[in-house]
Amino acid sequence: MSLANIALNQIIVMFLIIIVGIVCYKCKLIDKETNKKLSDLLLMLVNPLVIFVSYQRDFSKELLNGLMISFLLAIITHIFGIFISYLIFRGKNNPDVVIERFSTIYSNCGFMGIPLVNGIFGGEGVFYITAYMTIFNLFIWTQGLIMMVGKQDKKTMVKTLISPTLVAIILGLVFFVIQIRVPSIIFKTADYVASMNTPLAMMIAGVTIAQTNIKKVFAKLRIYLVVIVKLLLIPGILLIIYSRFPLNDVVITTAVLAAACPTAATGTLFALKYNKNALYASEIFAITTVASMATIPIIMALTELIL
């Protein structure tokens, strides 16, 4: 089965779970507060366990080299995203330009990236995407925060740097390098909890989308520019650049896939906290999430063709 078909099948499954989340919200099985708690559960427990479990594998220099290259590609991806966002989205008199830039730069690499990579490449893909998530967290709580509020919130940054996700990455990497294996019963427990990642992430996305008026959102032409730049232009150009170097195909594909994911949900959270247009941020999140169901298979088809 081709890479594009695998991605498409995974996308369809995820989209159906998103619909379940929408139905749960409409039927009042999950409300806004419950969704926030589920989001915290995903970010604070499930995601870190997915990452840690992915590091519980036999050591090899090839994997370690691939991880280091993934870190480098993640840095390049974010710097390139910042450059493109400032180049395309302008307007001193447009207060929403910061939302558009933020939405263009930062991907939903945890919620969407991990389930997708796990579905396509399994643990090896998750292993590599942890590098992207590390750089994502460093950039979003420095450049992203400064861009959103105009100054650095040092307390928030320090708090984030010791988040469960980064702790899981550090511990997982240390355990991988010195080959510490947790007892089988603990590993199996962690693996069971980690398996909730995809359904939980997609249901949360569905509940979030259900809170927006999709019909009105589709009439906002400006959002389509964000969709094109975020989901097609940036990952497409990066794919062409990365393919010029003799790198592992899985490493390249994982980096491109992470960049091709829809807008980060963190944009809406930042907008709420720092009095920006949170409605617009949630609308971009909703539309890019829905649009990614079509754009990600396209990017994966191009990746397979070029690589």
Model pLDDT for residues 126-164, shown as the tens digit of each residue: 999 988 988 888 888 788 888 887 666 566 666 656 778
CA dist 267 and 276 (Å) reads: 10
Count CB-CB contacts under 10 A for residue 177: 11
- Tokens found for residue 226: 């964000």
| Full set of structural domains in the chain with CATH | 3-306 (1.20.1530.20)
Residue listed under structure tokens 């709580």: 141
Enter the tokens of residue 218.
């589709």
Dihedral pair phi/psi, residue 263, rounded to 5° = -60, 145
Asked if the model's pLDDT at residue 185 lies above 80, the reply is yes
- The three-class DSSP label of residue 246 is coil
- d(Cα 303, Cα 239) in Å, to the nearest integer? 7
CB distance 112 to 105 below 8 Å? no
Give the Cα separation of 113 and 129 in Å (integer).
8
Range with the poorest average pLDDT among 166-170, 226-230, 265-269:
265-269
Q: What is the mean pLDDT of residues 78-101?
A: 91
Taking only the tens place, the pLDDT of each residue in 194-246 is: 888 888 888 888 888 888 877 777 778 889 999 999 999 999 999 999 999 99
Cα separation, 125 vs 146, whole angstroms: 31
How far apart CA 144 and CA 166 sit, in angstroms, is 18
Query: What does the pLDDT average to over 31-41?
Result: 87
- Non-local CB neighbours of 262 within 8 Å, separated by 6+ positions: 107, 108, 112, 230, 231, 285, 288, 289, 291, 292
3-state secondary structure of 44: helix
* Three-state secondary structure call for residue 154: helix
Confidence of residue 191 (pLDDT cuts 50, 70, 90): very high
**What is the predicted pLDDT for the residue at 39?**
82
